[in-house]
Structure 1
């Protein structure tokens, strides 16, 4: 790909875990990468350096996605460094302050989940869409908007209800922007990971593994961030044509109804 025809992806929450593996798989496919994380850090800079090792251009774009006033500036910085964005991956997310009874959920924990998982997702999609529609898209490139929500967008977990509500909101954001951007040829997908081995899920991994061993998932294993990265890269590369607005349940068959 020439400089003018390169795929350029912006990934939020990309310094580690699922976000970094998405960035890594995209970089290996030839995408230039704008990598966002909550704040600048040695981890973020090291992640950018690793991406550059695959021969692509990469730039760190630190910033709290919950601060909507930063959104357009972050996208502008990315485009100034790499060129027009073709791909946006809403991956940043937070979990609950503490798991517990639904009757004990605090407004602070609820608002935190909403601010990052739902509100920021909506307005980042909006900022990306506005930029995309304001210019002429190049026919040789593929344009996509991907929301990484959660299986909890559909499945109720009453010990973290505020998280479920926020991820259900994120899932609806994907549907809305799929409808809005279809005429522009932009594919939009909602990836709903299930039980994935990450830093965020570390405290619950033993319980998750036990549930898997008991048959919770059809595939008898926990998922990995690299698997999510492969899924995103397939979608962002145009590997699933004539689709938009779909939910991709990356959960090992966990939510398949059985009786």
Structure 2
């Protein structure tokens, strides 16, 4: 496939899980792909090697999304080195998996969740919006719990992901006149390090789906590649559930 040849894509949180497979798919489809990562240099290098195997240019930029001052320099570096930007995938996210009761969640955890999941996505979109070329794409990765919270212990994460719905719809209106589309993918239970298919909560999540199974990162990435393509040019402001029927 070569539907994205000549396009430049930036995937935040692209060193593992959903972000890593989105980066690979975009490269497979022809895009030059830049990823950001927080800590794991080895994982980022592996994704970068896969991008290069497709014959595409790309690089991995270490950035702490919780630090607002790091975001504009990432966009500026991409523009300077690649001459422009066509696709932004806001994938970087944070979820507290400590199981701390609601009443005991520390302010530090609240701030980290908001700064990465909400503020980070907003700022990346804000800074990218002045550089995205005609026909540009912003793809936000939300969550099925942004619409429906199936159990306790998810309040903070659900709050942050429900905000992405408003971000997506607002950006679609603000950027539509420039020919830029903005859409959201809301995954259900996906087999990742954070929520593995053999983890302690697997049975709970599988039972929530209509299909009785976890999804794969590849299934999310395939939808992202479609939204990045010209075939999706008339889709904007949409929230696409890739959740196996979790919220059906």
TM-score when scaled to structure 2?
A: 0.92
1:208 equivalent in alignment to 2:202:
yes
Are residues 255 and 48 of structure 1, via their aligned partners in 2, closer, same or farther at CA, if it must alter by over 3 Å?
same
2:241 is aligned with 1:255: no
Partner of 1:240: 232
> Within 5 Å, which residues of 2 pair with 1:155-166?
155-156=148-149, 157-166=151-160
CA contact (8 A) 1:45 1:60 kept: yes
CA distance in 2, matches of 1:200, 1:207: 11
**CA 1:219–1:40 in 2, change beyond 3 Å: closer, same or farther?**
closer
Match of 1:92 in 2: 92
Contact kept, 8 Å, 1:101 with 1:158, in 2: the verdict is no
CA deviations 1:89-117 (Å, max 9, x no partner) are: 00000111522433333222211111100
In structure 2, distance between residues paired with 1:126 and 1:113: 19
2:78 maps to which residue?
78
What aligned pairs does 1:194-233 form with structure 2 within 5 A after superposition? 194-202=188-196, 205-212=199-206, 214=207, 216-233=208-225
The number of equivalent residue pairs is 243
Q: Does 1:172 align with 2:205?
A: no
- The 1:130/1:39 distance shift into structure 2, 3 A limit, reads farther
| Contact 2:15 2:40 (8 Å CA) reproduced | no
Say if 1:165 and 1:83 are closer, same or farther in 2 by CA, change over 3 A: same
Cα distance in 2 between the residues matched to 1:107 and 1:76 = 32
CA contact under 8 A between 1:100 and 1:160: conserved in structure 2?
A: no
Distance in structure 1 (CA, Å) of the matches to 2:156 and 2:198: 17
Secondary structure of 1:117's partner?
A: helix
Which consecutive unaligned segments of at least 5 residues does structure 1 have?
none
Instruction: Judge conservation of contact 1:57–1:82 (CA < 8 Å) in 2.
Output: no
**Is structure 2 residue 147 aligned with structure 1 residue 154?**
yes
In structure 2, which of residues 127, 136, 140 is the aligned counterpart of residue 143 of structure 1? 136
Alignment deviations for residues 2-44 of structure 1 (CA, whole Å, 9 cap, x no partner) = xxx7111000000111001000011010010011101461221
CA drift of 1:148 comes to 0.3
More displaced, 20-29 or 194-203?
194-203
Q: Is the 8 A contact 1:29 1:233 kept in 2?
A: yes
Q: TM-score, normalised by structure 1?
A: 0.88
Give me the CA root mean square deviation. 1.8
Name the SS for the 1:183 alignment partner.
Answer: helix
